[in-house]
Amino acid sequence: MKQGKVYLIGAGPGDLGLITVRGMELIKTCDIIVYDYLANPRLLESARPDAEIIYVGKKGGDHTLPQEEINKLLVKRVKEGKTIARLKGGDPYVFGRGGEEAEELIEAGAAFEVVPGVTSGVAGPAYAGIPITHRSCTSTMAFITGHEDPTKDDTAIQWDKIATGIGTLVFYMGVKNLPDITKNLMKHGRSPKTPVALVRWGTMPNQQTWIGTLETIAAIAEREKVAPPTLIVVGEVVNLRGKLNWFEKKPLFGRRIIVTRARAQASGFSQKLEELGASVIEFPTIETTAPESWDALDKAISSAGNYDWLIFTSVNGVGYLLQRLRETGRDIRELAGPKICAIGKKTAEAVEATGMRVVLVPDEFRAEGILATIGDVKGKKVLIPRAEEAREVLPEELAKRGAQVDVVTAYRTVRPQAKKDAVMEAVRDGKVDMVTFTSSSTVSNFAGMFADDELKEVIAKVKAASIGPVTTETAKKFGFTLACEPAEYTIEALTQSITEHFAKPSA
């Protein structure tokens, strides 16, 4: 049996980009992922398909597993020879109880490794525009638990020392004890006028920040119903937020947007939106898969030299054709002969990345654009490898112009098994600003995932963004209100169109 090992990994403060390179490598390779409430669940998307995922989160006193049971779980599974990625929000050794888990593993004779992470006490204030040290304010700072071990008789916090002896104080998990924290600091000499910031869900698109002073912040927190997870930052550095606040000024900050692209393609679009500050709900409504039979495509590839035109209508068509070439021991030389046309810049880039040359990219990124620019096709042979079900406008119109058109299935689109509960909950809570559609099939598949009354509720509350007129037409048939549609039918242009929409005062 192989030797097991536990990796105590700091999952970072929440922003996916703040996981360490080492941490991500281990998430991708470990047998088991054991994760906490504060570890971004989207990190799990990088796990192996066969990895076992175990949630052991603790939220407001509600423990899925008590710490003692988590310790036992780690020991038991590592002794089975498993590699375990133990994901802990922030850093495992900064109020993460990683030290306790490490001690248990040592006592059991189990191998472990610590992978430090970016702690929220640094990252949260930074994303709120607050540097925890600054030459003009302070050169000292301290991290303090705002929620001590409830079994202890006395506090371990030396309030008389930290109140005036440390410039910046960052309290973790302390919002419920905020009145006591502020009272103790003022009692031991800290000025009531000292600036204080509360940073909730720091580094995440739903980050919230409140500013006050030691004498006012408890009342502000009560009025605003501030809840965990919230950091408390005390010190003059809080005054720098007015100058240095950058994250909350991103153009899509606070917007929650549903991305319906296929999972394999969603990450790039999601990343673009997240870089602009949006919170993304990935809800893939379409997946691509191989055709039920390769016979038609194999036959077309074998006779590719007999065609005058090879027309690619999507990146997927390019990808699956190349996949089939590799699987059958052939290469792109089989496609020498026909001139190549690609609908859309991304499709053209995918073709040219293989070494083939695209001679025509229509100005209009849909079938009608080809018809306007391809020229005389009378007597020409045209091959179109595409999805099993697609619009018939292009092949029909080419045939009307005298072309011999062979449409072959290079891939199929299917509806994935998606959980809609989270989407409906967010819609009903008024927490969804937009749903994005990148093809007609994403619209129809999205609609098909909901009951009629649920779909009506979504349509009534959420505006849509469409990548182009064909998709827009489908969305309107279902009753969606279209907020934006770019002039150029690309993800980049769609992202820009969404940004411009939300920049409007009425959005």
1 has catalytic annotation: no
pLDDT tens readout for residues 98-108: 999 999 999 99
Task: Dump pLDDT digits (tens) for 286-325.
Answer: 778 888 899 999 998 988 889 999 999 888 899 999 899 8
Three-class SS state of 483:
strand
Q: Is residue 152 annotated as part of the catalytic site, yes or no?
A: no
**Of residues 72, 173, 250, 339, which has the active-site annotation?**
173
Class at the top of the CATH hierarchy for domain 289-414 = alpha beta
Is 406 in a helix, a strand, or coil? Answer: strand
Q: Residue 120's pLDDT is what?
A: 97
Q: What does DSSP assign to residue 176? A: G
- Kindly report, residue by residue over 469-484, the tens digit of the pLDDT: 989 999 999 999 999 9
Q: Are 35 and 54 in contact (CB under 8 A)?
A: yes
What pLDDT is stored for residue 484 in this prediction? Answer: 95
122-248 and 289-414, same CATH topology? no
Domain 256-286+416-503 fold is Rossmann fold (3.40.50)
Q: What is the pLDDT of residue 490?
A: 86
Predicted pLDDT at 177:
94
Mean pLDDT computed over every residue of the chain: 91
CA angle 185, 187, 191 (to 5 degrees): 60
Q: Which residue has the higher pLDDT, 2 or 127?
A: 127
What does the buried/exposed string (b/e) look like for 238-262 if buried means 16 or more CB atoms within 10 Å of the residue's CB?
bebbeeeeebbebebbebbbbbbbb
Q: Cα separation of 199 and 208, whole Å?
A: 6
The catalytic position among 58, 79, 381, 463 is 58
Pick the CATH number of 5-117 from 3.40.50.2300, 3.40.50.410, 3.40.1010.10, 3.90.1010.10: 3.40.1010.10
168: number of Cβ within 10 Å: 24
State the residue for tokens 């995932």.
Answer: 449
Query: Which of these, 97, 117, 165, 141, lies nearest to 10 by C-alpha position?
Result: 117
Long-range CB contacts (within 8 A, 24+) of 496-503: 497/465, 498/252, 498/257, 498/273, 498/434, 498/436, 498/465, 499/251, 499/252, 499/276, 501/465, 502/251, 502/252, 502/255, 502/433, 503/251
Q: Distance (Å, rounded) from C-alpha 210 to C-alpha 94?
A: 24
User: pLDDT tens, 175-210?
Assistant: 999 999 999 999 999 999 999 999 999 999 899 999
CA distance 215 to 226: 17
- Kindly state the average pLDDT of the residues 433-443: 92
Burial of 203 (0-12, 13-18, 19+ CB in 10 A): buried
What is the SS3 assignment for 234?
strand
State residue 2's pLDDT score.
Answer: 79
pLDDT of 273 strictly over 70: yes
> pTM score, two decimals?
0.77
Say which of 15, 24, 31, 36 is annotated catalytic. Answer: 36
Task: Domain ranges for the chain, please list them.
Answer: 5-117, 122-248, 256-286+416-503, 289-414
The three-point CA angle 303-309-312 to 5° equals: 95
Instruction: In whole angstroms, give the CA distance from residue 130 to residue 121.
Output: 11
91 touches 119 (CB < 8 A): yes
Q: Residue 391 class from Cβ within 10 Å (0-12 exposed, 13-18 middle, 19+ buried)?
A: middle
Is the model's pLDDT at 434 over the cut of 60?
yes
Its CATH class, for the domain covering 122-248, is: alpha beta
- Which H/E stretch holds residue 6? strand 5-10
